[in-house]
Amino acid sequence: MKHFNLSILTLFLALNLFAQPYKIDPETKKILFLGNSITQQGEYISYIETYYTLKYLHHNLEFINVGLASETVSGLSEPNHANGAFPRPDLRERLDRVLDRVKPDLILACYGMNDGIYLPFDLERFEKYRNGIHWLNEEARKRNIDIVFVTPPIYDEAKGAAYANVLDIYSDWLISNRYTHDWKVIDIHEPMKRYLDERRKTDSTFYLAKDGVHPGPQGHWFMAREILVGLGEFHLEGIEYPVEAFSNYVNGQEVLDLVSEKQDLMKYAWLSDTKHKRPGVPQGLPMAEALIKRDSLNGMIQRLVK
C-alpha cells in the first residue's frame, strides 16, 4: 500500500501545480465551515475572516463555523471512543438541520482526520470515508450549494507512521476527484507535510500539532494560508506566520482579536441552535442574543478598519 500511495502522491503533486483556484461567486453571502474538532477550534477560520476583513473592507461574507469535535463523515467510531461515553458523531445525523438553519451559499468541508479512527489503513474504512464524502457532495448539489473540499491536516508521523499514511491516502483520493468528478478541492495536507519534514531536518523536536492531531497557531495559519491561496490569494504563498500577513494593515492584530472573539461566540451559538448531540460542548447563547453581540463586535471591527 505504501508503494501505491507514493505513486498516487507523485501523480497528484504534479497535477496540483496546475490546480485552478476557486473563485467565490460575487452573490455569495454565507460561507459554512464543516469539520471536526480542528474546525470547531476554528483558529484557521478566524485567520481567513480577518484577512478578508482587512483586504476587502466592504466584503459581505459571513463566515459560519459549525465544526463539531470527534465528528466523521464515515460514520465510524472506535469501540471505546471517549472511554465508552459516546460514539463519534456522524455528520449525517445533523446536516439537514445545519443547512436548513444556516442556508449557506458555499460550504468548505474538512474531514478525514477522524474517519480512519486512528487505525492502520483498511479498505473497508476507506470505502466508508469515500462514501461519506460522495454523500456530502450530493447533499450540497441537491440544495444547489457550492462545496469546496479541504484535504485533512497531517497526522504527525512521530505519533504514528501508519495513521499518517492513512491520511496521505485519504488526501490523495480527495484531490483525485478534481479530475474524475470536477470537484473543487483545496489541498492543505501536502504543504503542511512538506513544511514539517523540512523543519524536522534541522530541529527534530519541531511540531505543528503537539498531540499529532490538533494544530497549534502556526498549523492553523498554514491551513488558512493554503485555503486562501486556493481561493486565489497567491501572494500569501510562503508566508509562515499570520503576523506577516496582517502586519501591513492598520490595526491588524486588533481586528484578529475581535474576529476571534466573534467566531468563538457564534460557533457555539450555531452549534446549540442546530441541536448537535455531542456531549461536552459548551452551551452557546440563544441565537437572538448572540446576534446582538455579533453585531456589536462587527461595529467595533469596522471602526478599526476604516
What CATH code is carried by the domain that includes residue 15? 3.40.50.1110
245's grid cell: 500577513
At 121, the amino acid letter reads: F
Domain that holds residue 111: 2-245
pTM above 0.85, yes or no: yes
Residues 172 and 9: beta-carbon distance below 8 Å = yes
Q: What is the pLDDT of residue 57?
A: 86
Q: What is the pLDDT of residue 6?
A: 47
Paired residues of 107 in beta bridges: 32, 147
Mean pLDDT across 65-79: 97
pLDDT level of residue 19 (50, 70, 90 thresholds): low
Residue 222 counted as domain residue:
yes
SS3 content of the chain, % helix, strand, coil (to 5): 55, 10, 35
Helices 287-305 and 43-55, interaxial angle, to 10°? Answer: 50
Residues with Cβ within 8 Å of 290's Cβ and at least 6 positions away in sequence, in order, are 265, 266, 269, 284
Residue 306 counted as domain residue:
no
Residues 64 and 32: beta-carbon distance below 8 Å = yes
Angle CA 46–104–242, to nearest 5? 15
pLDDT level of residue 10 (50, 70, 90 thresholds): very low
Reported as type and span, the H/E element at residue 146 is strand 146-150
Q: Judge residue 92's burial from the number of C-beta atoms within 10 Å of its C-beta, 0-12 exposed, 13-18 middle, 19 or more buried.
A: middle
Examine the pLDDT at 2 and tell me if it is beyond 50.
no
Examine the pLDDT at 93 and tell me if it is beyond 80.
yes
Residue 110 counted as domain residue:
yes
Q: What is the pLDDT of residue 58?
A: 83
Examine the pLDDT at 173 and tell me if it is beyond 70.
yes
Examine the pLDDT at 156 and tell me if it is beyond 50.
yes
Cβ atoms within 10 Å, residue 79: 7
Distance CA 268, CA 264 (A): 7
Examine the pLDDT at 1 and tell me if it is beyond 70.
no
Paired residues of 149 in beta bridges: 109, 185
Examine the pLDDT at 243 and tell me if it is beyond 70.
yes
Residue 49 counted as domain residue:
yes
Residues with Cβ within 8 Å of 156's Cβ and at least 6 positions away in sequence, in order, are 164, 196, 207, 208, 209, 212, 213
Q: Looking at per-residue confidence, does 139 or 5 come out higher?
A: 139
Share of the chain above pLDDT 70, in %: 94
Residues 192 and 171: beta-carbon distance below 8 Å = no
Mind listing the pLDDT tens digit for each residue in 126-135? Answer: 999 999 999 9
Mean pLDDT across 255-271: 98
Domain count, the chain: 1
Cβ atoms within 10 Å, residue 176: 16
Least confident of 8-22, 177-191, 245-259, 286-300: 8-22
Examine the pLDDT at 302 and tell me if it is beyond 60.
yes
Q: What is the pLDDT of residue 14?
A: 47
Examine the pLDDT at 8 and tell me if it is beyond 60.
no
Residue 72 counted as domain residue:
yes
Residue 132 counted as domain residue:
yes
Residues 219 and 249: beta-carbon distance below 8 Å = no
Residue 287 counted as domain residue:
no
pLDDT level of residue 159 (50, 70, 90 thresholds): very high
Paired residues of 184 in beta bridges: 148
Residue 300 counted as domain residue:
no
Share of the chain above pLDDT 90, in %: 91
Mean pLDDT over each residue of the chain, to the nearest integer: 94
Residues 32 and 49: beta-carbon distance below 8 Å = no
Distance CA 69, CA 34 (A): 11
Distance CA 117, CA 52 (A): 35
Mind listing the pLDDT tens digit for each residue in 162-172? Answer: 999 999 999 99
Distance CA 93, CA 82 (A): 19
